[in-house]
Amino acid sequence: MKQTGDLNLVKKINKTIVLHHIRTDSPISRARIAEITGLTKATVSSLVNELIESSLAQEIGVGESSGGRKPMMLLFNGTAGYAIGVDLGVHDMLAVLTDLTGKVIREKRIQHHNESVNQVTQLLKMTIRELIETAPESVYGVIGIGLGVPGIVDEEGNLLFAPNLGWENVPMQSQLEAEFGLPVVIDNEANAGAVGEKQFGAGKETANLIYVSIGMGIGAGIIIKNELYRGATGFSGEIGHISIQHDGPKCRCGSLGCWELYASEHALLEQAERELGHEVDLASLLTKAESGDAGVIKLFERLGYYLGVGVVNIINGYNPEFIILGGRLAGGEKWLMRPLLDLLEKRSLPHPRKQLKVEFSELRDRSTVLGAASFAVTKFFASTTVSVERS
């Protein structure tokens, strides 16, 4: 059912717009908001005063005048509440407490051995509880929890399938909501990463971007017109399983020649082990490359080539303005970048490529956790802007 229009809706729309400007363009005056938005000064004044009353905005003092009464500058009150973000990894979890602007107040990183769903969930709950307890006093308190997971999540926040964790059908959202009595948002780690980069990282200025998370597998979060794009059923971007060789080796997904068989951390390690004859991990490979080991550098360069092959497919399939490469493999940027760019130069269509940027993540391993916290904040505003207006 489509949402019908009424006065409530109008107020909600305008209040959201005013709050948006206070959040992003602050410090800003009432008059300036009226000018930018096209709303009258009276309307802006009234909405701003309600926002101040609900502690989301505050007056910070007078600003500079350009030949008239000095404006009263407004600031978003980032400490009216706090959010929890968690990046649940295969062998570790990173959790943060942020304020409403996304500023990290506290951070906890914990290893786990993924013995069972239950054990990891217990650890997760403990970690979240600890962060909640250390949150500073504030008007709204902790307003919600966001969680990025390495797997497929449905619209009800059930973790349907997480191959690298070996989990299936875990009702994460309802479990956590029951435990803490707070709103919980769960999404794929690549989606969270995309939002993290969009809000706080390299993608701040870009409306359309794709965040490619290169870890054990490859995932992607797609942002179109400033919004996360989800496929039909809420999960999209199983981009690691786009085949780059139709008669290639068999993938556990059933298909042949999937991109992540060639360009993931797992692919790199496997290749390295075959060539070196013993088990290795990513950290040691990075060290070796750093010290000039030609064989290992070659491995990275080859990975760069394969990354490029998939990136060209992304460009042709989605036509983004900006591709951000993240995940743990981003540490190999130094050796991956050149072969990747060479390949793009050669192979991508001229029209889509015109204004394309490709970069490695700025936030490194924090994209996902910050995006997760941002989910919680977004959900909070989506709900309060309605309820506040009812008062």
DSSP string, 359-382: EE-SSGGGHHHHHHHHHHHHHHHH
CA distance 105 to 99: 7
Options 48-56, 72-80, 135-143, 342-350: segment touching its own copies (CB under 8 A): 342-350
295: contact with its own copies by CB under 8 A: no
235: contact with its own copies by CB under 8 A: yes
Residue 294 contact among its own copies, DNA, none, beta carbon within 5 to 8 Å by kind: none
355: contact with its own copies by CB under 8 A: yes
* Nearest CA among 366, 365, 363, 380 for reference residue 99: 380
Provide the minimum distance between the beta carbon of 3 and DNA in the complex, in angstroms, as a whole number: 11
Do residues 264 and 251 lie in contact, with contact meaning Cβ atoms separated by under 8 Å? no
280: contact with its own copies by CB under 8 A: no
Q: How far apart are the first and last CA of the chain?
A: 26
> Which residues in the 158-187 window bind its own copies by CB under 8 A?
160-161
Per-position x/- string for 18-37, each x denoting binding to its own copies as judged by CB under 8 A, each - no binding = --x---------------xx
Structure tokens at 290: 């750093």
Q: Quick one: which of 349, 357, 364, 382 contacts its own copies (CB under 8 A)?
A: 349
Residue 152 contact among its own copies, DNA, none, beta carbon within 5 to 8 Å by kind: its own copies
Provide the minimum distance between the beta carbon of 389 and its own copies in the complex, in angstroms, as a whole number: 12
CA distance 116 to 166: 9
Please give the backbone phi and psi of residue 213, each rounded to the nearest 5 degrees, phi first. Answer: -100, 115
Q: Kindly report the number of other CB atoms within 10 A of residue 230's CB atom.
A: 17
Provide the minimum distance between the beta carbon of 33 and its own copies in the complex, in angstroms, as a whole number: 11
Distance set, CA 163 to CA 151, 159, 297 (Å): 7, 11, 29
**Exposed, middle or buried, 250 (CB in 10 Å: 0-12/13-18/19+)?**
exposed
Provide the minimum distance between the beta carbon of 81 and DNA in the complex, in angstroms, as a whole number: 24
Per-position x/- string for 211-230, each x denoting binding to its own copies as judged by CB under 8 A, each - no binding = -------------x----x-
CA distance 383 to 199: 20
Residue 256 contact among DNA, its own copies, none, beta carbon within 5 to 8 Å by kind: its own copies
Q: Quick one: which of 76, 82, 211, 306 contacts its own copies (CB under 8 A)?
A: 306
CA distance 348 to 340: 12
Provide the minimum distance between the beta carbon of 18 and DNA in the complex, in angstroms, as a whole number: 9
5: contact with DNA by CB under 7 A: yes
> Could you give the dihedral angle defined by the CA atoms of residues 189, 191, 194 and 196, in that order, rounded to the nearest 10 degrees?
-60
Do residues 170 and 117 lie in contact, with contact meaning Cβ atoms separated by under 8 Å? yes
**Strand pairing report for 92-99 and 152-153:** unpaired
CA distance 231 to 186: 16
Per-position x/- string for 44-83, each x denoting binding to DNA as judged by CB under 7 A, each - no binding = -xxxxx------------x--xxxxxxxx-----------
| Count of residues near its own copies by CB under 8 A | 64
6: contact with DNA by CB under 7 A: yes
CA distance 102 to 105: 9
**Where do contacts with DNA occur on this chain (CB under 7 A)?**
4-8, 10-11, 14-15, 29-32, 38-43, 45-49, 62, 65-72, 389
**Where do contacts with its own copies occur on this chain (CB under 8 A)?**
1-7, 9-14, 17, 20, 36-39, 152, 160-161, 207-208, 224, 229, 231-233, 235-239, 241-247, 253-256, 262, 306, 309, 312-313, 316-321, 346-352, 355
